[in-house]
Amino acid sequence: MEGHFRDKARQLDRVDTLSGFRKRFYLPENKVYLDGNSLGLISRDAEESLLRVLDEWKTLGIRGWLEARRPWFYFAEQIGEMASGLVGAEKGELIFTGTTTVNIHSLISTFYRPAGRRTKILADELNFPSDIYALKGQIKQKGLDPEKELCLVPSSDGKTISEDRVVSMMTPEVALVYLPSVLYTSAQLLDMEYLSREARKRGIPVGFDCSHSAGAIPHSFSSWGVDFATFCSYKYLNGGPGCTAFLYINKKHFGTEPLMAGWFGCVKEKQFDMSLDFIHEESAGGWQISSPGILGASTMEGSLNIMLEAGIENIRSKSLRLTAFLREMLNSLPGLSGEGFYIATPEEDHRRGGHIALCHPGEGLRINEALKARGFVPDFREPDTIRIAPVALYNTFGEVFSLAVALKEIMEKREYLNYEKRRRPIS
Ligand SMILES: *Cc1c(COP(=O)(O)O)cnc(C)c1O
């Protein structure tokens, strides 16, 4: 059985048309890195664009705002435009700005307009904590009570959310729907097109946090009728720790006023008029707040070049093959069945994102520690989930095979018993 999978991995790597991209990344030495859903790796291309911007600062000083190769004053707009094809944004709908949670605050402050009976925000109980904190804060900002106004769609299995259940909760009291594209724990991919259509039918604006899908999965925000979205760029987009995020506004909302206003949201030709009247750019750019952190943002140019060269459809297709291969091994390698594992990630291609959530009630944490001790880099999320993200641009089928074999040996030898049941601040 193991031999069969080894051969299969070799064969899959041989015919992999994206294999050439691996050597453009810095891979941590002697590690099998499978944590690109948390922090993607740096590519030589990203390093190059960062070094170029550093150099421009040295040589141009203030003139870099207009005279750098990619002028800093237009950097956010241009990178937004470069990334548009990855998410199906039309001209002006995508801007490279802020950070995920700040963007959520800004977007919710714009799109959450409780009035009359419509006062509730509909989200889900498996949502990322930061998103929920922001929603609660925004409800309080409006002088309302989050206990009453935040409705969380319950999960029946603690791992996934039923889209039909979400739709059944889109009642006339709901003022806004805000959901993740891919759940950060189980990697369930929600049907954003269906949810957007159903919300639109009911006259409810809908927004998505696509931090766990951007760079791994193609999106069609504009044709799906998504009203707004945001996503970070340090996961599958490989922008680096805390890199600038993206913000999407459907063009039908360009005239709406951004309430967390700042001077970088001004009509660009007027920004330096220094008028005290805020006339915002009628594009996603109007939602910018501050001077963009060009150094931290600069990696994105190189990173996007790689993504565009590879093609998001090809990236998705390889990612699906990687996770399907991993699932197949986890399900059929002798030594793993009967050990108490289960896979929380939905099996169908159209329902899963870029990682596999391998759950082990009781010993998940220590099994993850044992994998780390053997040189693998997955991660662990409470209460029982080991997340394994083989990334299309830099991981191989051989690596996925080696992880499955290591896991089997860890279970056979009970290696996890050597570790403490104690979680470090980041695991
Ligand atoms: C990664 C992630 C975040 C992170 O928020 P930051 O503000 O970038 O720290 C938020 N929400 C979701 C769904 C995420 O996956």
Domain ranges of the chain: 2-30+311-418, 49-308
Of the CA atoms within 13 Å of residue 261, those in its CB half-sphere come to: 14
Res 427 pLDDT > 80: no
User: CATH number of the domain at 49-308, out of 3.30.565.10, 3.40.50.1820, 3.10.110.10, 3.40.640.10?
Assistant: 3.40.640.10
Question: What's the CA gap between 141 and 105, in Å, rounded?
Answer: 10
Query: Helical H runs in 342-396?
Result: 364-373
- Rounded to the nearest whole angstrom, what is the distance from the C-alpha of residue 104 to the centroid of ligand 1? 10
Contact predicate 210/228, CB 8 Å: no
- Rounded to the nearest whole angstrom, what is the distance from the C-alpha of residue 300 to the centroid of ligand 1? 17
Q: Which atom of ligand 1 is nearest to the CA of 102?
A: 7
Q: What are phi and psi of 44, to 5 degrees?
A: -65, -35
Q: What is the dihedral of CA 122, 345, 349, 315, to 10 degrees?
A: 90
Contact predicate 379/10, CB 8 Å: no
- Rounded to the nearest whole angstrom, what is the distance from the C-alpha of residue 71 to the centroid of ligand 1? 28
Q: In which region does residue 322 sit, left (phi positive, over 0), alpha (psi from -120 to 50) or beta (all else)?
A: alpha
Question: What's the CA gap between 281 and 288, in Å, rounded?
Answer: 9
Q: Which atom of ligand 1 is nearest to the CA of 180?
A: 13
Fold of 2-30+311-418: Aspartate Aminotransferase, domain 1 (3.90.1150)
Provide CB contacts within 8 A for 61, sequence distance 6+: none
Name the residue with tokens 């294999």.
19
Of 35, 100, 104, the residue with max ligand 1 atoms within 8 A of its CB, to mutate for a pocket test, comes to 100
Local structure of residue 118 (DSSP, 8 states)? B
Q: Among candidates 165, 212, 171, which has minimal Cα distance to 188?
A: 212
Q: Among candidates 221, 235, 236, which has minimal Cα distance to 95?
A: 221
Pocket of ligand 1 (CB under 6 A): 99-101, 128, 130-131, 180, 184, 209, 211-212, 232
Res 335 pLDDT > 90: no
The percentage of residues in the chain with a pLDDT greater than 90, rounded to a whole number, is 96
Res 345 pLDDT > 80: yes
**Weakest mean pLDDT among 52-66, 83-97, 266-280:** 266-280
- Rounded to the nearest whole angstrom, what is the distance from the C-alpha of residue 207 to the centroid of ligand 1? 15
Q: Among candidates 156, 97, 96, which has minimal Cα distance to 125?
A: 156
Kindly indicate the confidence band of residue 336, based on its pLDDT and cuts at 50, 70 and 90: confident
Can you give the pLDDT at residue 264?
98
- Rounded to the nearest whole angstrom, what is the distance from the C-alpha of residue 211 to the centroid of ligand 1? 6
Contact predicate 407/378, CB 8 Å: no
Can you give the pLDDT at residue 101?
98
Mean pLDDT of the residues in the chain: 97
Q: Which residue minimizes the CA distance to atom 4 of ligand 1?
A: 100
The percent helix, strand, coil of the chain (3-state, each to 5) is 45, 15, 40
- Rounded to the nearest whole angstrom, what is the distance from the C-alpha of residue 349 to the centroid of ligand 1? 24
Q: Among candidates 297, 353, 311, 354, which has minimal Cα distance to 36?
A: 354
Question: What's the CA gap between 330 and 321, in Å, rounded?
Answer: 14
Q: Per this entry, what is the length of the chain?
A: 427
Kindly indicate the confidence band of residue 182, based on its pLDDT and cuts at 50, 70 and 90: very high
Mean pLDDT of 342-369: 97
Mean pLDDT of 61-78: 98
The per-residue pLDDT for range 109-162, each reduced to its tens digit, is 999 999 999 999 999 999 999 999 999 999 999 999 999 999 999 999 999 999
Query: Helical H runs in 163-272?
Result: 163-168, 192-201, 221-224
| CA dihedral sign, ordered 83, 199, 169, 344 | negative
Res 1 pLDDT > 90: no
Q: Which atom of ligand 1 is nearest to the CA of 211?
A: 15
Burial tier of 255 (Cβ tally within 10 Å: 0-12, 13-18, 19+) = exposed
